[in-house]
Amino acid sequence: MQPKRFPITSWMNYKWDVVPEEMVEEWRDIGFTLTMTPPVNDDPRTHELVRRLLDLCAEAGIEAIVCDARTHVPGGNWGNPSQRVSLPEDYRERAAAAVREWGGHPAVWGFHVNDEPLCGGLPAVAEACRILRELTDREPYFNLMSNHLIDPDGTTRTIEWQIGFNNFAAYLDHVVKESDAAMLSYDQYCSMSEEWGGPDHYYRCLADYQAAAIRHNIPFWNIILAHGHWMYKAPTPLQMSWQFYSSLAYGAQGIMYFMYRAGGIGDYGAPVDELGNRGPLFHQLQRQHNQFLGQWAWRYRDCTPVATYHWPAAPAGLKTLDGSGIVRSVTEDPSTTHRHTPPSDLIIGEMRDRRGRPHVLIANGSAEKHTKFRVDLNGRSVHCIRDEGKEERWGRPVAGGGCECGEFLMPGQAIFLRVET
C-alpha cells in the first residue's frame, strides 16, 4: 500500500523542542507529503504530542510513519552481523497496543520497524513485519542495506559479511520473500563521496533496487543525502536536483532525505540548520517538490520502470543507450561542444503506465553543465507531461518513421514524456 500522494519526506530527526504546529507548517512549506514522527516511548508526553501532530498532519494532507518503540525491532550486532537476534516474546502484544492507539488515525500510513537490519537481525525484522500485517493494514516500514561498503581493495567483502550474501540481488530477493515486503527502501550517500564510490556507485545501487522492484513488481524508495556529515560533503542545490531527478529516472516511487534538519559540530549544509534557519537547499527542495507534485506526479505514479540507460556512456556494469528501447538515439547540439567542456551526460529512464503506454524521463546527469540535445524516438508522436492532467504535443515526425524532439536542460534538471507508438 503506497501513500495517497507520492511520498516525499525526511528520515526521522525531529525533536520535541520544535512544537507540532511549527513542524507541520515547515513540512507544508517544503512540500513533504509524508513524515516520520518523533519517537514515541514510555513517556506519556510523547503520546500526547504525536496525537496532536497526527491531527495536524491529517488537516494538512500529510501521512505519517509512526516511530513507536513498541513496533521497533533491534537489527543486529554490527560487530558480529551474523549473531542471531530474537524477536521479543511480547512483541505481538506490544505491537497490538501500538496498533490500537495509532492504527485507526487517518494520517497514519505505517509503523517503523527497523533501519538496516543485519543478517542476524533480518529474521526478527521479517517476523515483526508479518505480525504487523496480521494486526493492521498500515504498512510495516523498514529500511535496507545498500551495496555501498567498498573496501579499500575495491571489493565488497564488508557488505557481504553484513548481509550474509555474496550476491546483492539474491539478498534483496531473500528480503522480499521472508518479509512479504510490499516495497523496498534504502539509503545511499556515496554520490557525495568519491572515496566511497562516487556517482558511479550511486547509480549502481539505484540499478540494484530498480532490478529488484521490476522482478517483484513492487515500488522502491531512495533515501538521498541532504546535508554534509562524516566523509560525505553537503550537496549544492544543483547536486540536490541531480539526486532527485536521477532517482526518478531509475523509477523510484518515493524520496526521503537524510536529513533535512541537521547542524552542529560535524554536520552542515542541511535545508534547515540547527538554529532553525532555512538555507539554499530548503528553497531548492521547495521548488522541485512543487514542480514535480504539480506537473508530473499524477502520471509518474502510474508508471513502473522498464530500463534505464546512460548516454553517451554508462558506469561499469550499467546500460549504455543502445537504441533497443523507445529512445533510438541522442544527438548533442553542436553549440554545447564549441568550447572545451566535457560531453553532456544524460540518464534516460524508460517506463510504462498501467495502460502499457511508454514514457521516458530524461535527466541531465551533470550537476555542472547545461545541455542541449535532440532525441530520436521509436513512436509516431511525443507528448510532454505538463500540469495536472495535461500533456503538450512535442517534436515532429522524421523520415522513415519515428519522431524527434529537442530540449535544453539545466544541471540536474529533467523532462518527462509520453510516446505514442
Q: Which of these, 193, 205, 192, lies nearest to 148 by C-alpha position? A: 205
Indicate if the pLDDT at residue 225 is higher than 80: yes
Q: Where does a domain end: 280, 303, 326? A: 303
Q: Do 118 and 257 share a structural domain?
A: yes
The residue assigned the cell 530498480 is 210
* pLDDT of 339 higher than 70: no
Query: Are 200 and 309 in a shared domain?
Result: no
Confidence of residue 266 (pLDDT cuts 50, 70, 90): confident
272 & 317 share domain? no
- Co-location of 330 and 271 in the same domain: no
Q: How many CB atoms sit inside 10 A of residue 325's CB?
A: 18
CATH number, domain containing residue 80: 3.20.20.80
Start-to-end CA span in the chain (Å): 31
Q: What is the DSSP letter of 182?
A: S
For residue 26, being part of any structural domain is answered with yes
Report helix, strand or coil for 241: helix
The answer as to whether 400 is a domain residue is yes
Answer yes or no: do 184 and 227 share one domain. yes
Q: Are 176 and 144 in contact (CB under 8 A)?
A: no
pLDDT at residue 15, rounded to an integer? 67
CATH of the domain at 309: 2.60.40
Q: How many CB atoms lie within 10 A of CB 274?
A: 13
Residue 274's pLDDT is what? 86
Confidence band (pLDDT; 50, 70, 90) for 24?
very high
Answer whether residue 252 shows pLDDT above 70: yes
Q: For 383-419, what is each residue's pLDDT tens digit? A: 999 888 899 998 888 988 899 998 999 999 999 999 9
In a domain, 339, yes or no: yes
DSSP letter, residue 367 = S
Per-residue model confidence (pLDDT) at position 387: 85
Q: List own/partner pairs for 85-93 with CB under 8 A and 24 or more apart.
A: 85/120, 85/121, 85/123, 85/124, 86/124, 87/124, 87/127, 87/128, 91/128, 91/131, 92/131, 92/135
In a domain, 3, yes or no: no
Residue that finishes a domain, picked among 303, 328, 360: 303
Does residue 1 belong to any structural domain of this protein? Answer: no
Letter for the amino acid at 329?
Answer: S
Cα 132 to Cα 100: distance, rounded to the nearest angstrom? 12
What's the domain range around 152?
8-303
Q: What is the number of H-type helices and E-type strands within the chain? A: 10, 18
Identify whether residues 145 and 261 lie together within a single domain.
Answer: yes
- Do 296 and 314 share a domain, yes or no? no
Q: Would you say the pTM of this structure is higher than 0.85?
A: yes
Q: 346 and 254 in one domain?
A: no
Reported as a single tens digit per residue, the pLDDT across 90-130 is 999 999 999 999 999 999 999 999 999 999 999 999 999 99
Instruction: Give 1's DSSP letter.
Output: -
Same domain as 407, residue 347: yes
Ranges assigned E (strand) in 226-367: 255-258, 303-311, 327-332, 346-353, 358-364
* Mean pLDDT along residues 11-21: 77
Reported as a single tens digit per residue, the pLDDT across 46-80 is 999 999 999 999 999 999 999 999 999 998 999 99
pLDDT: which is higher, 370 or 305: 305
Per-residue model confidence (pLDDT) at position 311: 96
- Lowest average pLDDT, out of 99-103, 151-155, 266-270, 373-377, goes to 151-155
Give the pLDDT confidence score for residue 344 in this predicted structure. Answer: 86
Looking at residue 393, its pLDDT comes to: 92
Residues near 265 by beta carbon (within 8 Å), at least 6 away in sequence: none
Choose the final residue of a domain: 256, 280, 303: 303
Whether 2 is in a domain gets the answer: no
pLDDT band at 216 (very low <50, low <70, confident <90, very high): very high
Nearest to 176 by CA among 136, 137, 237, 218: 218
| pLDDT, tens only, 318-337 | 999 999 999 999 998 877 66
Kindly state whether residues 279 and 324 are assigned to the same domain.
no
Q: Which of the pair, 342 or 52, is modelled with greater confidence?
A: 52
**Average pLDDT, whole number, for the chain?**
93
286 and 332 housed in the same domain: no
Q: What band does 168 get if pLDDT is binned at 50, 70 and 90?
A: very high
Secondary-structure breakdown of the chain: helix, strand, coil percentages, each rounded to the nearest 5: 30, 25, 40
For residues 267 and 364, membership in a common domain is answered with: no
Cα(228)–Cα(230) distance, integer angstroms: 7
If one compares 274 and 245, the residue with the highest pLDDT of the two is: 245
Residue 79 within any structural domain of the chain: yes
Within 8 A by CB and 6+ apart from 324, the residues are none
How much of the chain, in percent, has pLDDT values that exceed 90?
Answer: 80
Residue 258 in domain: yes
Structural domains of the chain, count: 2
The pLDDT-based confidence of 16 (bands split at 50, 70, 90) is: low
